[in-house]
Amino acid sequence: MRDVAIIGVGLNPKWGELWDKSLRTLFAEAALAAIEDAGVDHVDSMYVGCMTSGLFAGQEHLGSLMADYLGQPGLPATRVESACASGGAAVRSAFYEVASGASDIVLAGGVEKMTDVGGDGATYALSTAADADYEVYHGVTFPALYAMMAVDHMNRFGTTSEDLANVAVKNHNHGSMNPAAQYPFEVTVEQVLGSVMVADPLHILDCSPITDGAAAVVLCSMDKAKELAGDRPLVKIAGVGAATDTIALHQRPDLSWLGSTEKAAKTAFEMAGVGPDDIDFAEVHDCFTIAEIMVIEALGFVERGKGGAAARDGLTALGGKIPVNTSGGLKSKGHPVGATGAAQIVEGVTQLRGEAGDRQVEGARRGITQNMGGTGGSSVVHVLEVV
């Protein structure tokens, strides 16, 4: 396979409740920004990550729609769906198209317009990432599922509500330095613990928000990237991994272990020829604060059961051993579900180019992104490095 580089990244200037922008406008805005950043005049192919635009915005057939709206009729364009891991899966698909030699320049991105429906509609749309017969039918929501995972982690390892709150505090601190973040404000442990309870032990400030937004990246062969890069650092996708687990939480032997993340990370690490100790920063899927705690354990950054203390002890903060979610994560930056995985790549490239401003990880040479669907029914991991 050919080496693959990321030569362009794009993100809407601000994520949140974007009433004046449609689904197509959001994606086009991010895609055009990535194309401009890449300095190319065409792409050979395109992948659009989106979880459930049909339920959120009444629109399917996104490959055709987005190619048309970008002014690229005839472009091979495919919509990719893997629940909340759709954006990461789209980037993975683009990686393999370039690596195989089928195309030289490929656009990959993700989009979700989530605020055109009410709370009940959003809850229903998101629930389609769970098991319809054995979870959704019985009224179980994602806050409830992650609450079960949190309780299991607490009972096994002594994790506390304060440990969960410290994840939110850290990510909001990082997000306060990200101009694109939906909620760019800081919070305290006391504010998190005093916020309304959603599903015990998860408070509202333990949960990621409903978000409109899009993100995009341009991938190309390394040889082509060297022609286009100029003086800018080249960022290579060194490793890619993907895996699945049972969609239903109750079918897993261990409620607080993310097997799909462990397997996807193993594949990505092996492809890149590195391990957890070689990573300088990580963007992970903190849809709920407990998710970040479980993910850093599955990625091998801390021992099993030690994830709860990581944020509290400063391990995962800027300046710590392994900064996690320097963008603010899903918690502060926002979580337009189909776009999240691509946005993680955008942050990774921004860090590796040294362009992250106040939230820059000093000396960053290698990072990892982890994007997952549902309660970990699917996971996608990318290892990025400066060439």
Residue pLDDT, tens place only, 47-74 = 999 999 999 999 999 999 999 999 999 9
Q: Is there a single domain that holds both residue 68 and residue 197?
A: no
255 inside domain: yes
51 inside domain: yes
What number of other Cβ atoms are within 10 A of residue 121's Cβ?
Answer: 13
Domain count, the chain: 2
154 inside domain: yes
**Segments forming the whole domain that contains residue 47:** 4-118+210-228
**Which residue is catalytic, options 153, 174, 203, 335?**
335
Buried b (16+ CB within 10 A) or exposed e, 273-306: ebeeeebbbbbbbbbbbbbbbbbbbbbbbbeeeb
What CATH number should be reported for the domain holding residue 261? Answer: 3.40.47.10
Q: Is the pTM of this model over 0.85?
A: yes
Q: Is there a single domain that holds both residue 337 and residue 353?
A: yes
- Given 168, 197, 228, which residue is the final one in a domain? 228
Q: Is there a single domain that holds both residue 30 and residue 174?
A: no
123 inside domain: no
205-211 average pLDDT score: 98
For residue 364, pLDDT over 90 is answered with: yes
233 inside domain: no
pLDDT digits (tens, 9 = 90+) for 283-335: 999 999 999 999 999 999 999 999 999 999 999 999 999 999 999 999 999 99
Q: Is there a single domain that holds both residue 298 and residue 371?
A: yes
Q: Among this protein's residues, is 382 annotated catalytic?
A: no
**Which residue is catalytic, options 50, 84, 207, 287?**
84
pLDDT digits (tens, 9 = 90+) for 127-184: 999 999 999 999 999 999 999 999 999 999 999 999 999 999 999 999 999 999 999 9
Q: Is there a single domain that holds both residue 96 and residue 53?
A: yes
Q: Is there a single domain that holds both residue 221 and residue 366?
A: no
129 inside domain: no
CA separation for the pair 327, 343 (Å, rounded)? 9
Q: Is there a single domain that holds both residue 224 and residue 288?
A: no
Residues 6+ apart with CB under 8 A from 257: 294, 297, 298, 304
| Residue-by-residue DSSP string for 168-225 | HHHHHHHHTT-TT-SS-----HHHHHHSPEEETTEEGGGBPPP-BEEEEEEEEEHHHH
- Given 183, 200, 228, which residue is the final one in a domain? 228
- Given 228, 262, 284, which residue is the final one in a domain? 228
Q: Is there a single domain that holds both residue 221 and residue 252?
A: no
- The closest of 79, 76, 71, 3 to 41, measured between CA atoms, is 71
Q: Is there a single domain that holds both residue 108 and residue 159?
A: no
Q: Is there a single domain that holds both residue 377 and residue 329?
A: yes
What number of other Cβ atoms are within 10 A of residue 19's Cβ?
Answer: 8
Q: Is there a single domain that holds both residue 145 and residue 186?
A: yes
Q: Is there a single domain that holds both residue 87 and residue 156?
A: no
132 inside domain: no
Q: Among this protein's residues, is 50 annotated catalytic?
A: no
Sign (positive or negative) of CA dihedral 336, 94, 285, 325:
negative
Q: Which residues pair with 45 in a beta bridge?
A: 106
377 inside domain: yes
